[in-house]
Structure 1
Amino acid sequence: MLVFIIRRFFQSIGVLLIMSLLVFLGVYAIGNPIDILISADATQIERARVIAAFGLDQPLWLQYWLFLKNAAAGDMGHSFVYGTSAMGLILERLPATLELAAAAILLSAVLGLPLGLWAGLRPGGIAGKTIMSLSILGFSLPTFWVGLMLIMLFAVKLGWLPTGGRGEVGMLFGVPLGFLTPDGLRHLLMPAFNLALFNIALIIRLTRAGAQEALTQDYVRFARAKGLRSRRIIGVHVLKNILIPIITVVALQFGSIIAFSIVTETIFAWPGVGKLLIDSIRVLDRPVIVAFLMLIVVMFILINLAVDILYSVLDPRVRLSEAQA
């Protein structure tokens, strides 16, 4: 395992370098932040002073080299707008996004697994067909529309839940978390469900397909021939063998949820990194944009490593030496 982790570490360094170059060039190409941050009435001397202060007067290759040098030391630059550390701004709002993403993943697993199992074990029943039909809606309905409908129904019409915001938070090891308070939990429900809807549908279909395939395998037939109860067959033999692809999807979707939580955070005014990214793009705050995207890359790398290690735990037939191929 140690050899595998070391190899993955060096692979990750290469991925980070390539992605950092692509991200840096991409952010550089979308526009000049000086045109937004400086008033049109500013003199050329004032413009030149601000450009020099931000380091934008340097050649692009030198800007990238300085970025790599500072990033290696843990400095992702300072925000053009706020004047503070870009990574500090992100880490300040990251707990809110992580809480929302974790709630969405938990909701996806809690609803998706049992519904998918039910549909897979009883594919011809009315309930199974209904579940699969509803899962298509989960794939099809746009996130922004679902979010607006949730607000209209549960906040405006029924008045059960707040329209947006994070609400009151509690502290756990110095980290503010909304689910620790009743008010924070009420604020969390709608955005978490909105973010989880696609993943619920995805897990339902994966679980159904895996369950139907597992039921035809010899080890399930042998378990039935031994007289094992259906509950044990499903819980031990079927569910355990279909967890590997589901864990892969759930883990990768966790990173995707964080990366693409922008729409949900904007609709529900959730104070996370997604909303910060939107605000930064509007003013072309390059350090914040680059720091956010690089953080997402690192998270995906770590998630993939964790998934490979979990493979060997769940299924001894899967070796880490094979996972690296």
Structure 2
Amino acid sequence: MAGKLGGAVISLFAVLVTSFFLFRIIPGDPVRAMTHGRPTSPEQLATMRRQFGLDLPLWQQFTDYCGKALTGDLGTSYQFHAPVGELIAQKVPATLLLTGVAVVIYSALGLWLGTRSAWHRGGLGDRIGTGVALTLWSVPSFWLGLLLIIVFAVGIGPVPGMFPTGGMQSGDATGAGQVLDVAHHMVLPVLTLVAVGYAQTLLVMRSSLLDEMGGDYLTTARAKGLRDAVVRRRHAVPNALLPTVTMVFINLGHVAAGSILVETVFSWPGLGGLFYQALSVPDLPLVQGLFLVFAGAMIVMNLIADLLYPLLDPRVGR
């Protein structure tokens, strides 16, 4: 456990370093972008660079950034003129709502369908399910989102537009009306995330279970007279869960990151849309803070999955 925790800390520090230098190579001048093309004198530009610390040597900017990040200070956004931590906290609920619902749905759906598909491999349901999953897994999420907007939001042919094209709410409703309004706006983005996510989960679970189905312990379980459903549920599935557990926890890490492309396509007011806005400037403190949060969530979820392995399969801890 100490080794895994140490590895997670090292990974987080590597992310800290990467998030600083990676976004320094993005083309564009943040100071000029903040002026939005307005006439600005060289003296004014120099003053703004000094105000944001962009006139300092790169090594000094890096040490200042690391020192503040270790104390929880992610800096101040260039374009919003507000602390990065506050901006992230404001957007977290919307992202958790959208991606959290999607992850729960497609994880449960993918595990169930993947198990059924592997257990009845070669059948009509397996061939259809695998073909659909392979197709959806290959489809870019933003393209699928745009397609759903065209068909179900704008309307095409006999299909009328039934859902909003974007946003999280369309009015000032309160109570039950607000809940229904938000749910109505969530349908298409959640459907986009579920379609791609369930396909990945199904294929991984199916492949993992197929590897276990030739095991001698399953033959022994059947020889003891156990029903097929019991053999699958109590013996085969638990041993096939390890790769899927890793993927599920990585997907839970994505809950913090949201889906940048899907949130942008549907104008969802979450962390993904905020990251896109920050990247377009580039708003370096905001981009770095969001990148650190996204990567940190992935590292933590992967660590939890590693620690759960011995509980699912005692052989891992030996």
Q: Taking structure 2 as the reference length, what is the TM-score of the superposition?
A: 0.89
> Which secondary structure does the structure 2 equivalent of 1:102 belong to?
helix
Letter in 2 for 1:234: R
Letter in 2 for 1:12: A
Q: Name the structure 1 match of 2:31.
A: 34
- Out of 91, 94, 97, the position equivalent to 1:93 is 91
- Structure 1 residue 257 displacement after superposition: 6.1
Seq. identity, %: 32
Aligned residues: CA RMSD: 2.2
> Which secondary structure does the structure 1 equivalent of 2:81 belong to?
coil
CA contact (8 A) 1:107 1:193 kept: no
Q: Name the structure 2 match of 1:236.
A: 234
Q: 2 CA distance for matches of 1:103 and 1:16?
A: 27
Q: 1 CA distance for matches of 2:208 and 2:62?
A: 46
Q: Taking structure 1 as the reference length, what is the TM-score of the superposition?
A: 0.88
- Out of 6, 21, 46, the position equivalent to 1:25 is 21
> Which secondary structure does the structure 2 equivalent of 1:61 belong to?
helix
2:288 is equivalent to residue 286 of structure 1: no
Q: 2 CA distance for matches of 1:181 and 1:195?
A: 20
Deviates more, 1:302-311 or 1:116-125: 116-125
CA contact (8 A) 1:248 1:307 kept: yes
Q: Deviations over 1:128-186 (max 9, x none)?
A: 111111111112222122112212222233343322222389xxxxxxxx9x9232222
Letter in 2 for 1:33: P
Q: 2 CA distance for matches of 1:49 and 1:25?
A: 23
Distance 1:147 1:47, change over 3 A: same
Q: Name the structure 1 match of 2:253.
A: 255
- Structure 1 residue 19 displacement after superposition: 2.3
Q: Gaps spanning 5+ residues in structure 1: where?
A: 170-177
2:12 is equivalent to residue 16 of structure 1: yes
- Structure 1 residue 35 displacement after superposition: 1.8
Letter in 1 for 2:32: D
Counterparts of 1:164-179 in structure 2, within 5 Å, are 164-167=166-169
Q: 2 CA distance for matches of 1:70 and 1:57?
A: 18
Letter in 2 for 1:183: D
- Structure 1 residue 237 displacement after superposition: 1.1
CA contact (8 A) 2:258 2:270 kept: no
Q: 1 CA distance for matches of 2:254 and 2:33?
A: 30
Q: Name the structure 2 match of 1:102.
A: 100
Q: 2 CA distance for matches of 1:307 and 1:168?
A: 39
- Structure 1 residue 235 displacement after superposition: 1.3
Letter in 2 for 1:160: M
Q: Name the structure 2 match of 1:271.
A: 269
Q: 2 CA distance for matches of 1:71 and 1:18?
A: 13
Q: Name the structure 2 match of 1:216.
A: 214
Q: 1 CA distance for matches of 2:211 and 2:23?
A: 45
- Structure 1 residue 248 displacement after superposition: 0.5
> Which secondary structure does the structure 2 equivalent of 1:317 belong to?
helix
Q: Name the structure 2 match of 1:83.
A: 81
Deviates more, 1:39-48 or 1:121-130: 39-48
Q: Gaps spanning 5+ residues in structure 2: where?
A: none
Q: 2 CA distance for matches of 1:99 and 1:56?
A: 36
CA contact (8 A) 1:79 1:287 kept: yes
Q: 2 CA distance for matches of 1:41 and 1:237?
A: 71
Q: What is the total number of aligned residue pairs between the two structures?
A: 308
